[in-house]
């Protein structure tokens, strides 16, 4: 490794312990980044790069189920009390579920995990981002919503029907990119660059795990989709590549791409903001009191 590749920045990655998040973590650790992992379960113990980074404190782990606001609030408070600064925040955690289910807050799970939690994390860690140099937030989105014929922000919390991948999963990712688009100018005025990116199709299938993928897609993914390092590179480029000076954009294959249903962006942001201000504040005061 040449000296030029050595980085001394700090990045927080949610969902850092498997799939695309794990590959992004490994790539950045190898380049010398400090990594803060916000994860629900642990890292594999048979990866020398990971175990070495944990031992040297180059990789620091905080645990929470991001769809549980009480647990999330606890973990974020711990991060704010122990960490000094943040250069890049990758809101990457997520997943597609095989059926309709609700979070602990009583809303549809994809929505709380993939639309609301990234907003909460961004808002709560703004002060740490302000202390960093790069001040960049990348929200992991998806091109799954490109197929959507209609979108109603009012059904995000409680969808009436369920379709694997192209139902609530796609709607929650669209909502994530829409609030990103709407909030970006405000954050840019505060020096923080916010954008969303599709990491593309990746073979992230885990054996023995019930999946939210349509049955016909699984063999296609196994045969034709690239290794998760492909998606990790796209997220890395979204933070540090050619579009790093553009706020609010949605990147697909590292290209700026138009968002469908952009007329709903302010409504989605208002919805997410209200949940943050009313509910998350309540969860926060519960564990601090």
What b/e readout covers 113-130, taking b as 16+ CB neighbours within 10 angstroms? bbbbbbbbbbbbbbebbe
The more confidently predicted of residues 225 and 242 is 242
The domain spanning residue 71 has which CATH number? 3.40.50.720
Cα 78 to Cα 252: distance, rounded to the nearest angstrom? 34
pLDDT 10s digits, 45-59: 999 999 999 999 999
Is residue 110 classed exposed, middle or buried when 0-12, 13-18 and 19+ CB atoms within 10 A define those classes? buried
Structure confidence at residue 281 (pLDDT)? 80
Structure confidence at residue 133 (pLDDT)? 97
Structural domain count of the chain:
1
Compute the average pLDDT of residues 125-151: 96
- Percentage of residues in the chain with pLDDT exceeding 70? 89
Determine contact, residues 50/26, Cβ cutoff 8 Å.
yes
- Helix crossing, 229-240 with 19-30: angle to 10°? 60
Residue (of 168, 185, 23, 186) closest to 90 by Cα position:
23
Beta bridge partners of 61: 37
Confidence tier at 1 by pLDDT (50, 70, 90): very low
| Structural domain range at position 254 | 3-288
Confidence tier at 4 by pLDDT (50, 70, 90): very low
Convert 225-273 into a string of H (helix), E (strand) and C (coil). Answer: CCCCHHHHHHHHHHHHCCCCCCCCCEEECCEEECCCCHHHHHHHHHHHH
Structure confidence at residue 3 (pLDDT)? 38
Secondary structure element (H or E) that encloses residue 191, with its range: none
pTM score of the predicted model: 0.92
Could you give the C-alpha distances from 112 to 34, 109, 117, 214, in angstroms and in order?
A: 28, 5, 6, 22
Structure confidence at residue 207 (pLDDT)? 56
């Amino acid at each position: 490794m040449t000296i030029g590749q050595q980085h001394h920045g700090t990045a927080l990655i949610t969902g850092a312990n498997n799939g695309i998040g794990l590959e992004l973590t490994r790539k950045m650790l190898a380049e010398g980044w400090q990594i803060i992992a916000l994860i629900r379960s642990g890292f594999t113990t048979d990866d020398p790069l990971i175990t070495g980074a944990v031992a040297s404190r180059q990789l620091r782990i905080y645990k929470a189920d991001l769809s549980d606001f009480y647990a999330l609030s606890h973990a974020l408070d711990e991060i704010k009390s122990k960490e000094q600064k943040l250069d890049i925040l990758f809101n990457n955690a997520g997943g597609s579920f095989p059926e309709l289910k609700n979070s602990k807050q009583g809303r549809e799970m994809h929505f709380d995990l993939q639309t609301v939690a990234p907003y909460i994390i961004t808002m709560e860690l703004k002060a740490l981002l302000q202390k960093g140099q790069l001040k960049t937030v990348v929200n992991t989105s998806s091109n799954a919503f490109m197929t959507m014929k209609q979108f109603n922000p009012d059904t995000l919390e409680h969808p009436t029907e369920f379709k694997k991948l192209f139902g609530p999963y796609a709607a929650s990712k669209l909502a994530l990119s829409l609030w990103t688009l709407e909030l970006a100018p405000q954050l840019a005025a505060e020096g923080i660059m916010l954008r969303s990116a599709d990491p593309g199709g990746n073979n992230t299938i885990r054996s023995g795990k019930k999946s939210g993928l349509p049955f016909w897609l699984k063999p296609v993914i196994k045969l034709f989709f690239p290794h998760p390092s492909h998606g990790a590179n796209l997220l890395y480029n979204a933070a540090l590549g050619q579009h790093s000076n553009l706020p609010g954009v949605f990147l697909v294959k590292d290209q700026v791409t138009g968002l469908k249903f952009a007329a709903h962006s302010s409504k989605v942001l208002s919805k997410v903001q209200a949940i943050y201000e009313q509910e998350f504040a309540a969860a926060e005061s519960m564990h601090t009191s």
